[in-house]
Amino acid sequence: MSVEIDTRPIWVLLALRALKPLFYIVLAAVFLYLVAMPAPAGLSAAGQRAIAIFIVCLVLWVSNMVPLAITSLFAIVLVPALGVLSKKETYALFGNEAVFFILGAFILAGAIMHSGLSNRIALNIMDRFGRSPRTLLLSIFLLAAFLSFIMSEHAVAAMLFPIVFDISKGLGLKPGKSNYGKLLFFALAWGCVIGGVGTFLGGARVPLAIGILKESTGKSIEFLDYAVAVFPLVIVMLLAGYFLLTRFFPSEVADVSSAHAVLSRRLKGLTKMSYNEYAVGGVLGATIFAWIFFGKAAGLAAIALSAVVCLFALRLVRWKDIEEYVNWGIILMYGGAIILGTALDKSGAAEWIVNLLIGKWADKPWMIFAIFSLLSIFLTEAMSNAAVIAILLPVGIGMAERVSISPALLTYSIAVPAGLAFMFPMSTPANAIAVSSNYITVKDMAKGGFIMCVVAWVSFNLFAAFYWPLIGMGYGK
């Protein structure tokens, strides 16, 4: 066992150790000052306290000094304690439909992975369609996107990573040097990111945004309406992503027959498709059908939870098999974000922030839409997309009311770009997983990711301007 000795001066080590307590002391002092200072003109006392809580949570989310879920719990405690909302109203918000939809989606995805159905689909598709370097790359790219339509993009990246890693080793690709190795892991990450915005199931950010929208305005966005609005953008981003991949890093690999040996070994290790796989696939198909055709009448969360009950009633899963797939931290994070967003809206703080920051010069609907989509797509590179939505959406809804733009449309302008994070490993677990392979460097990801972010923002705004009015989604209310 090797021993690593820290040779830095003792004063440096002591300063670093003291930095964290100092950070908390300064943050507490700022918070107390914001709460105690006289309220600015036009802002209520409750609104002032809501902004103080918002600033503390913003700093903690960006700095990541404590886990995201703990920051949300902190907000849940402070909102009723400071009288921004009543205790009853605060804790009732944690029972928002979006939270239970997210829970149901996690359990459904966990059942698919535990049954082995997703792994079987992945191996068969790559083995059947990946007969050349280009088609193997394309099969990974499209497979990651397709699976992210029905599962969390994070889970898809984690599931496909060992398969892609084995393929890279089977082809003898050298980490950090092989262009084709970079391409394979870019295809994995970008496919997950692009596919993750295609439906409500690719990530919990869209249900979170809809939860905040519903609490603030009483309006909602339906499963099918969202898919119709966003799916063409997904197609364009997949085409742009594949074009950039094949131009960005010219492949040095001419033959992928050794990759098929890897896939064949993995396929031979699979048993015959089981009753559980068929049944879980059937439950998932029925659930998506119900979301599309009965989501508005029955409610997305009610359908998701009914599917979960079916999984357990049919003995397709056991709780101990599924609990590892349920990210309780994300559920706490999103519940807290809904509470914070509602506090900003109902206290009048969101409207006050809008008037202060952009209310005087951004008065055209298309300009508001472009600004919020730009903020969302670049902020999500530095912090959790849930935090981005919690920060921007209450302000955006307040702005929508001011300039007569549909609050639901502005929700799209924040929720969709918040999922299009291509530049950095910290932006999304899919990127972090790809970089962990050592085939891609952070510099590689930033360079290619910046281009993808620009393409995503421009494409998104063009679709909003020209395609959405054709399906009845104009800027006006």
Q: What is the pLDDT of residue 3?
A: 46
Neighbouring CB atoms inside 10 A of 249's CB total 18
Structural contact between residues 434 and 172, judged by C-beta atoms closer than 8 angstroms: no
Q: Could you list the mean pLDDT of each consecutive 10-residue stretch along the chain, which spans 477 residues?
A: 54 66 89 91 89 86 76 89 90 80 82 84 80 86 90 82 84 84 91 91 84 86 91 94 85 77 80 89 90 81 90 90 77 79 82 68 75 86 75 80 81 92 78 83 84 94 91 71
476 φ, ψ (degrees, to nearest 5): -75, 165
Please identify which residue in the block is written with the tokens 């709460």.
35
Domain boundaries, the chain: 19-471
Q: At what angle do helices 328-346 and 385-403 cross, to 10 degrees?
A: 20
Cβ-proximal residues to 221 (8 Å cutoff; 6+ apart), any chain: 206, 210, 213, 408, 411, 412
How many Å apart are CA 263 and CA 162, to the nearest integer? 11
Token pair listed for 39: 């309220």
Per-residue pLDDT, 426: 64
Phi and psi (nearest 5°) for 299? 95, 135
Taking the C-alpha atoms of residue 476 and residue 463, their distance in angstroms, rounded to an integer, is: 16
Q: Provide the pLDDT for residue 176.
A: 79
Nearest CA among 153, 124, 149, 140 for reference residue 235: 149
**Burial of residue 221, with CB atoms counted within 10 A of its CB: 0-12 exposed, 13-18 middle, 19 or more buried:** buried
pLDDT at 2: 43
pLDDT computed for residue 82 by the predictor: 93
Determine the pLDDT at residue 476.
55
Please tell me the predicted confidence (pLDDT) of residue 338.
80
Structure confidence at residue 1 (pLDDT): 41
CA separation for the pair 94, 24 (Å, rounded) = 27
Is 419 in contact with 452 (CB distance < 8 Å)? Answer: no
Q: Which two tokens stand for residue 249?
A: 């890093």
What 3-state DSSP class applies to 25? helix
Q: What is the pLDDT of residue 363?
A: 64
